Amino acid sequence: MRGVETDYLVVGAGATGMAFVDALIAASDADVVLVDRRHRPAGHWNDAYPFVRLHGPSALYGVNSRILGSDVIEETGPNAGFYPRATAAEICEYYQHVLDELFLPSGRVRFFGMSDYTMAAGGEHQITSRLTGDATTVRVRRRVVDARYLEPSLPATHAPPFAADPDAWLIPVNGLVELSRPADGFTIVGAGKTAIDACLWLLESGVPADAIRWIRPRDAWLLDREFQQPLDLMPRLMEGVSLYLEAAAEAAGIPDLFRRLEACGQLIAIDPETEPAMYRCATVSKSELARLRTIENVIRLGRVVRIGPDRIELQGGSIPTDRGQVHVNCSAPGLRIRPGRPVFADGQITLQQVRACQPVFSAALAGYAEATRDQDAEKNQICPANPYPSAATDWIPVTCTAQQAEIIWATDPDLYKWMQSSRLNATRGIAEHGDDPQLKSALNRIFANVGPAISRLQAFSAGAPA
């Protein structure tokens, strides 16, 4: 059996593994072995549905050392007024360039694609080629980095969680672009971002809203893309932060908190009459929201149990269907919900979200902390694990943990300097907007409310009366 030796064995060359490695090698002389069972980097984007794009701007995605696309605000099209959002193909090409033009030429990163990582019985680290079966033992001098702990669950490989009659016309969302005959109608199964993307794509492709039926077991709180824009548009982003902190500081209880967050535009419901029960960081623009609201045939009878040739059974009842109806399975959960664990522990690093809904920035931050700090306690203070949200009320602990970390970052001069040089950091370049009245008023509101907001959110998390 072949053997190699390295400082860091990074398992997973998806968005988090790539951002971590880039930040680590930029701030240290570390040697890295990067392994992935896929043939190239980019993780889940390799299997994404064809019309998917980033939910947020490309300006905040990828690795620190290389821009993704162009940081020029779009003037036309559905994304007008915002920074571009890369397609899956652009993201895959980008990460291949990062590997070929930055990582490999550095002489400090070796990539093992089409290879599975396993830990053998004796604790030995092994990578096994999926092509030849050859196994390589990896001796790790410093750490193993788990960059697949939050690997998303994908529509392309997700088996439907319901039964379907062989005569029912059921396709995964990826199959929409492969339809070869017109459908009588489209039934979208799922309430998350994949379902939103499917509905928007159908509408943009000329399918009338009344030909779409949307099975939404739970509604989701959504984020407004207008408040997610960095660089020239950052004052608006900071205004958003200030508004949700003010809402949190003033909330009399949890229902009041969500009323306030909705009133100040920081959480959006597709149907204002239906209180969302879910929150998974999904983002839409106002124009997308308006288009989604044109779909009026929304079924709220719980999850699908079975799709038959002429009826769909749901947890709370049944509805008619027929063989001319395409049923589109959008039920894969996307973000993988797993319990938080220390990011830095013993010989291991487990990459997780720290800043809310920013897993890639969080991974880069972990790379920098690993390169520049000695003690795990300090590294974990900089990078507290912040599990992805799922239920609506998860907004509370996610925001609370992220805000506490923001205070640590802002008051550490070295971290502040790194953050201001990090293209993945949404607040990079904030000083350049010092004279902007919107930013000034946002900062005043943030300073006034961040302490009370954290206290309130802690109390709500601890079960203060709602």
| Number of residues near ligand FAD (by CB under 6 A) | 29
Tell me the CA distances in angstroms from 191 to 287, 288, 396, one per residue in order: 19, 15, 21
At its nearest, how many Å lie between ligand FAD and the CB of residue 155?
9
Among 71, 74, 151, 378, binds ligand FAD (CB under 6 A): 151
> Is 284 an interacting residue with respect to ligand FAD (CB under 6 A)?
no
| CA 466/CA 461 separation, integer angstroms | 10
Among 55, 125, 291, 428, binds ligand FAD (CB under 6 A): 55
Tell me the CA distances in angstroms from 392 to 221, 229, 258, 261, 266, one per residue in order: 7, 23, 9, 12, 13
Site residues (CB under 6 A) for ligand FAD, limited to 97-126: 116-117
At its nearest, how many Å lie between ligand FAD and the CB of residue 447?
27
At which residue do the structure tokens 């970052």 appear? 409
Among 14, 190, 230, 333, binds ligand FAD (CB under 6 A): 14
205 close to 176: Cβ distance less than 8 angstroms: no
The phi, psi pair for 312, rounded to 5°, reads -110, 125
**Which strand (E) or helix (H) includes residue 9?**
strand 2-11
At its nearest, how many Å lie between ligand FAD and the CB of residue 432?
23
Enter the tokens of residue 435.
């004279």
Among 30, 35, 176, 383, binds ligand FAD (CB under 6 A): 35
Residue type, 274: T
| CA 140/CA 149 separation, integer angstroms | 19
> Is 69 an interacting residue with respect to ligand FAD (CB under 6 A)?
no
Site residues (CB under 6 A) for ligand FAD, limited to 297-336: 334
Which part of the chain contacts ligand FAD (CB under 6 A), choosing from 35-43, 64-72, 76-84, 159-167? 35-43
> Is 7 an interacting residue with respect to ligand FAD (CB under 6 A)?
no
Cα–chain center distance at 367: 18
Which part of the chain contacts ligand FAD (CB under 6 A), choosing from 205-213, 260-268, 354-362, 427-435? 354-362
At its nearest, how many Å lie between ligand FAD and the CB of residue 296?
26
Q: Nearest-CA neighbor of 321 among 213, 219, 216? A: 213
> Is 36 an interacting residue with respect to ligand FAD (CB under 6 A)?
yes
> Is 147 an interacting residue with respect to ligand FAD (CB under 6 A)?
yes
- Mapped onto helix, strand or coil, the DSSP state of residue 439 is helix
Strands (E), 285-384: 298-299, 304-307, 311-314, 317-320, 325-329, 344-345, 348-350
> Is 192 an interacting residue with respect to ligand FAD (CB under 6 A)?
no
Among 21, 30, 54, 189, binds ligand FAD (CB under 6 A): 54
- Longest Cα–Cα distance of the chain, Å, equals 64
> Is 11 an interacting residue with respect to ligand FAD (CB under 6 A)?
yes
Among 6, 17, 140, 433, binds ligand FAD (CB under 6 A): 17
Residue type, 459: A
Residue 338 CB neighbours (<10 A):
14
The phi, psi pair for 126, rounded to 5°, reads -130, 140
Among 23, 25, 28, 44, binds ligand FAD (CB under 6 A): 44
Among 6, 16, 285, 350, binds ligand FAD (CB under 6 A): 16
> Is 52 an interacting residue with respect to ligand FAD (CB under 6 A)?
yes
91 close to 60: Cβ distance less than 8 angstroms: no
Rank residues 192 and 217 by Cβ distance to ligand FAD and give the closer one.
Answer: 192
Rank residues 50 and 253 by Cβ distance to ligand FAD and give the closer one.
Answer: 50
**Which strand (E) or helix (H) includes residue 93?**
helix 88-97
Which part of the chain contacts ligand FAD (CB under 6 A), choosing from 149-157, 174-182, 261-269, 304-312? 149-157
At its nearest, how many Å lie between ligand FAD and the CB of residue 114?
9
> Is 38 an interacting residue with respect to ligand FAD (CB under 6 A)?
yes
> Is 232 an interacting residue with respect to ligand FAD (CB under 6 A)?
no
Which part of the chain contacts ligand FAD (CB under 6 A), choosing from 48-56, 240-248, 322-330, 389-397? 48-56
| CA 277/CA 230 separation, integer angstroms | 29
> Is 360 an interacting residue with respect to ligand FAD (CB under 6 A)?
yes
| SS3 per-residue string spanning 368-396 | HHHHHCCCHHHHHHHCCCCCCCCEHHHHH
> Is 379 an interacting residue with respect to ligand FAD (CB under 6 A)?
no
Would you call 298 exposed, middle or buried from its count of C-beta atoms within 10 A (0-12, 13-18, 19+)?
Answer: middle
Q: Which residues bind ligand FAD (CB under 6 A)?
A: 11-17, 35-38, 43-44, 52, 54-56, 61, 116-117, 147-148, 150-152, 334, 358-360
